[in-house]
Structure 1
């Protein structure tokens, strides 16, 4: 689609050593600040959730645009990302697990457990300008669940967030980016406006995002902003010849 926004997927924003960040999910604070400054300097329009939904529903966008998303609901997003975003007047969406508020990321290996925002923290981050979305009830993969179990991770999770924080979520991001026809139907039936995956996409109910992680350099960050990147990234998982062609394609992008 013409002028489609790029949706960036972050997790934590903190200075965490590799021993406590096995999946490279925590972008260093200074690197995140530099990335946001680059977006602003380069003329990207940072969309709110409602602006993104307006585009999804047919309203055209001019120029380059970005939607910022943050998965899991780490306290570091409130402590480190929100002040930077507030200073630069950039909105975003924080996807949280209502069943784990105030807990830790126990779906990871113990060395990589990190604190999650509680209800007060989510209220504070919402007041700071970030929208709240659903990331399942407790970060369980939604790929193979029954319709009954999917209700817990979609409509019930949204109701719990509204009860605890007073915010009604409009959108959902699948834990691990994993989804299925059944889970997509469950999200649609629960009344969400759309859902985000990562690279394995399926229309409105599994929209693409680009992951930004702790090992991204300024150059790889810029490459990930190219419209060719999601297609190239998907191709890399298909077959060695396609991977080589995709690497070449990405390498031709301007620095």
Structure 2
């Protein structure tokens, strides 16, 4: 279930850097046979991965809920689940599994490509994206809706006008579509620089997800862990344990509430 996110601190001092949140990155849920980017997991594999989380006493939630819990000094049993691009199979194949396990998630969508396909991928099959009704359906089920930009472009290569459209216009369109504020952003391709991060912050997002943002790591550049078809229980355990060792602390992450 999505929750309000408020970044105001009401005069309190900023907290010390805390351990980085554990946020899993998914994309499509379906047939991974023709998948040169390895971004597709089968429903059976996703089900097994969600069951693995439950066996370890963990619960998957959207990123806003995860960060709000951390701001309260809670959430030790929570992990973030994110699904990029807004593929149509999220509603047909991922959402029923999330509901079965009582998990939430954040779905990062492209309002400029609703009802289209993944035309930005030069290789691999074309996959349909959610329509506006599909996005509203996911939101009605408690899925947090975030922006993945307007059309999926590399923000580090965008001119000023394109950067504003991808960041600000996408947020406004999604808020109008869902009738709810949009707290989160996700950098297309995981690429970012200081200019992109500043634009996302200025557009009013409370947080943003990347992949491995390095020295830019913070509330507007949260690292995530790719989870794919090959990730069995053993691989997930290794990734879970190594994640906090490999990632730098997130200054101010607990300030997102």
Same structural fold, with TM-score higher than 0.5 when normalized by the shorter chain: yes
Tell me how far apart the structure 1 counterparts of residues 102 and 27 of structure 2 sit (CA, whole Å): 20
TM-score, normalised relative to structure 2: 0.83
Once the 2 structures are TM-superposed, how far is the Cα of residue 218 of structure 1 from its aligned partner?
A: 2.6
Contact 1:102–1:116 (8 Å) recurs in 2? yes
Q: What residue in structure 1 maps to residue 177 of structure 2? A: 164
1:215 paired with 2:226, answer no
1:25 paired with 2:43, answer no
1:59 paired with 2:72, answer yes
TM-score, normalised relative to structure 1: 0.83
Report 1 or 2 for greater relative contact order, CA contacts < 8 Å, sequence distance ≥ 6: 2
Tell me how far apart the structure 1 counterparts of residues 19 and 121 of structure 2 sit (CA, whole Å): 36
1:37 paired with 2:51, answer yes
Contact 1:3–1:64 (8 Å) recurs in 2? no
Once the 2 structures are TM-superposed, how far is the Cα of residue 87 of structure 1 from its aligned partner?
A: 1.4
SS in structure 2 at match of 1:132: strand
Cα 1:2–1:188, aligned 2, differ >3 Å: closer, same or farther?
Answer: closer
Query: Paired residue for 2:148, among 132, 135, 147?
Result: 135
Tell me how far apart the structure 2 counterparts of residues 217 and 233 of structure 1 sit (CA, whole Å): 22
Contact 2:66–2:75 (8 Å) recurs in 1? no
Contact 1:147–1:183 (8 Å) recurs in 2? no
Tell me how far apart the structure 1 counterparts of residues 87 and 104 of structure 2 sit (CA, whole Å): 17
Tell me how far apart the structure 2 counterparts of residues 194 and 94 of structure 1 sit (CA, whole Å): 14
Q: What residue in structure 1 maps to residue 28 of structure 2? A: 12
Tell me how far apart the structure 1 counterparts of residues 18 and 201 of structure 2 sit (CA, whole Å): 25
Query: Paired residue for 2:137, among 124, 137, 147?
Result: 124
Tell me how far apart the structure 2 counterparts of residues 30 and 102 of structure 1 sit (CA, whole Å): 26
Tell me how far apart the structure 2 counterparts of residues 33 and 71 of structure 1 sit (CA, whole Å): 18
Cα 1:62–1:118, aligned 2, differ >3 Å: closer, same or farther?
Answer: closer
Q: What residue in structure 2 maps to residue 50 of structure 1? A: 64
Tell me how far apart the structure 2 counterparts of residues 3 and 182 of structure 1 sit (CA, whole Å): 25
- 162-171 or 191-200: which moved more? 162-171
Tell me how far apart the structure 2 counterparts of residues 48 and 218 of structure 1 sit (CA, whole Å): 22
Contact 2:61–2:106 (8 Å) recurs in 1? no
Cα 1:159–1:207, aligned 2, differ >3 Å: closer, same or farther?
Answer: same
Aligned length: 230
Q: Provide the alpha-carbon RMSD of the alignment.
A: 2.0
